[in-house]
Amino acid sequence: MTKLSKEGIPHHSNFADGFFVHFTDFNQAFVSFRALSAGQQRMQMDPQAPSRSYLKIEEAFKIFGKEPGNQETVIDLGAAPGGWSYSALKRGAIVTAIDNGPLKDPVKSHKNICHLKIDALKYKYDGSKPADWLLCDILDKPEVIFILLNKWISQKWCRSFIVNIKVGRNDPILLLEKIRDSKNGILPFCKHLYIRQLYHDREEITLMGQTKV
């Protein structure tokens, strides 16, 4: 088996052919000739990534099937230490990182980064031109993030978004119902909306979507 093995895993969200072994316990394993990785990565795949949160956004891009393009504008709320900003910068985006906390290299010294050292929840977007992307991974109550996201997409301040909701002690079923509510939820403002719990999430729900034009 080791003679046939190859390093690395598929970086795309399609099925890959090969010989795969998945150990679920010390004495149990599943084998397959096809596997779906959903773009999951490990930190050693990019040692320059400033934080583990980089893994979440990379996975989200693969599942969403959409990612920031060259020179597209990205607003990253709750950016520190820079994992999500780093992922966008790698793709040539122009990033405004908003967080009181410090950014780590190589993000903080990147030519395409603008770091606003303010509370991300108090940031006021001028709305003169929609940002191509809103990224948000803020540690706060779901209700707070709902209000924040609702404002951004109802006002059409962004074209695409990826936002994490921290479940915590909240009932995830009730959260999903609130998101999908046809009157007061997020769904009415979305052209597309995908709701996932990512492989690298920890008690979180990730929302990925596009706003209605």
- Residue 206 CB contacts under 8 Å (≥ 6 apart), including other chains: 56, 60, 162, 163, 164, 165, 195, 196, 197, 198
| 95 shares a domain with 135 | yes
Is 108 in contact with 102 (CB distance < 8 Å)?
A: yes
User: What was the pLDDT predicted at 183?
Assistant: 83
DSSP string, 162-199: EEEEE-TTS-HHHHHHHHH-TTTSSGGGEEEEEEE--T
User: What was the pLDDT predicted at 25?
Assistant: 74
Section 89-99 average pLDDT: 98
| 48 shares a domain with 32 | no
Domain residues for the domain of 69 are 43-211
Using pLDDT thresholds of 50, 70 and 90, give the confidence band for residue 74. Answer: very high
Residue spans of beta strands (DSSP E) within the chain: 15-25, 28-36, 73-77, 94-98, 113-116, 131-136, 158-166, 190-196, 204-211
How far, rounded to the nearest angstrom, does the alpha carbon of residue 163 sit from its chain's CA centroid?
Answer: 6
How far, rounded to the nearest angstrom, does the alpha carbon of residue 2 sit from its chain's CA centroid?
Answer: 34
| 110 shares a domain with 9 | no
- In one-letter notation, the amino acid at residue 165 is I
CATH code, domain with 194: 3.40.50.150
Round to whole Å and give the CA distance between 154 and 164: 18
| 193 shares a domain with 99 | yes
- How confident is the model over 120-144, as pLDDT tens digits? 999 999 988 999 999 999 999 999 9
Single out the catalytic residue among 56, 62, 104, 166.
166
| 176 shares a domain with 72 | yes
| pLDDT reading at 37 higher than 80 | no
| Tokens 């809103």 found at | 134
| pLDDT reading at 67 higher than 60 | yes
| 51 shares a domain with 107 | yes
Using pLDDT thresholds of 50, 70 and 90, give the confidence band for residue 146. Answer: very high
| 11 shares a domain with 106 | no
Using pLDDT thresholds of 50, 70 and 90, give the confidence band for residue 1. Answer: very low
- How confident is the model over 166-203, as pLDDT tens digits? 998 889 899 999 999 988 889 999 999 999 999 888 78
| 103 shares a domain with 63 | yes
| 101 shares a domain with 159 | yes
**Strand-by-strand arrangement of the 131-136 sheet:** 113-116, 94-98, 73-77, 131-136, 158-166, 204-211, 190-196
User: What was the pLDDT predicted at 130?
Assistant: 96
Reduced to 3 states, what is the DSSP secondary structure of residue 120?
helix
| 130 shares a domain with 30 | no
| Annotated catalytic residue 141 | no
For residue 69, give Cα distances in angstroms to 15, 34, 37, 111, 195: 25, 30, 23, 16, 22
Identify the residue with better confidence: 15 or 153.
153
b/e code 82-95 from CB counts within 10 Å (16+ = b): bbbbbbbbbeebbb
Report the alpha-carbon angle 20-26-27, nearest 5: 80
Round to whole Å and give the CA distance between 85 and 104: 11
Q: What is the mean pLDDT of the chain?
A: 88
| 162 shares a domain with 99 | yes
| 50 shares a domain with 33 | no
Total of domains in the chain = 2
The share of the chain scoring above pLDDT 70, in percent, equals 87
| pLDDT reading at 39 higher than 70 | no
